Amino acid sequence: MCRNKPYTKPCHLLFLGLTVTCLFHSVDSFLPLKNYHHHTPATFGLEKPSVTLFEQQKNDNDGGGNPLKALFNPYESKIPKEIEREIYEAEGNTAAAQDRTTRVGFYTLLAVLGVGMAFFNFFISQLRVSETPDGSLFDLADSSFAWVDGNFLTQFFFMNKIGGGLCLLFGAGAGLLAEAELDTRRINAEKIYDELVRRREKKEQKAAAAPSKKKKKKRKSTKESKRLNALVEVMEESDASTTPEPVQAEAEVAPKNSSAELETTESTDASGDTKDEGLFEKVKGFYERADTMAASQALLLNKKLEDAGVLDKITDETGLKVVGKEQAAAAAAKEESSKPTEK
């Protein structure tokens, strides 16, 4: 068994360093929460986040940090470290996070397998062109790697440059899929954080706008109450000044048999005034009394015009009840026919 030469060429060391760096980066990206034990747990809530954390994030977004930071570290999250753990726990409860750990682990395993196969292809290729101590080329059949030359698939993937390139592409593609899963996790967590910031700002805007609306509403209610109080005073004064007039007019025109109806109306008004009425009840009663007064005045005016012969008689002898033209004429004829007998 011949001894293999050590890898002394710079390209060999460079390839080995890149491979180790890629593997370390994959493992490091798989553990984004590795430094949580260095931070003290912070109280975090989805409805009441800390104000200082949002202010700090706002300052960072305004350019308070290094402008080249995003260029050198594109995977740096904008979520503050104090609440990053809680944000990622909330993201882990979403539907997109189900079985993510299994998928990332599977993609990472495929990436390691592909990169390892590509590295083994490079190792076998360099071993085949290396020289033995006696000056001849290394023969795989005389070594422990004889199985590589005994199968078509192993010959294609480990002794062919095309096969090695395919293995490297396969590993790189699997690594990109794993990194895409982790990047999706980070993006979803940042969306949750942005939603928290938006709710916080909206709540602050509502809190700032609430006092002005309350003051406007209070002023409006005060003005309305003053107007209603003034309206009630005017109605009470109008009731006191206008109520005796129709009663006096009815007493002058109506006969004795209408006094019962007037007394009934007055007693009803008096009993209604004794009740504890509210503001709107007073307004309603005012309009009802106004309608009654207007109707009484209209009937009294109609009675005067009927007595003067200007209008046809359509009311009874009291003038307070409309009976129709025919009945009024019949009543007038009956009254005229009964006058001679009384004499």
Give me the average pLDDT of each 10-residue run along the chain (343 residues). 42 55 51 40 41 50 51 68 85 85 92 92 83 74 78 84 90 92 88 90 85 65 67 59 47 45 52 56 76 78 74 66 66 67 44
CB 157 within 8 A of CB 167: yes
SS3 75: coil
Q: What is the pLDDT of residue 302?
A: 74
Burial bucket for residue 111 (CB in 10 Å: 0-12, 13-18, 19+): buried
As a whole number of angstroms, the distance between CA 14 and CA 17 comes to 5
Short-list 325, 237, 227, 328, CA closest to 279: 227
The pTM (predicted TM-score) of the whole model is 0.42
CB 290 within 8 A of CB 231: no
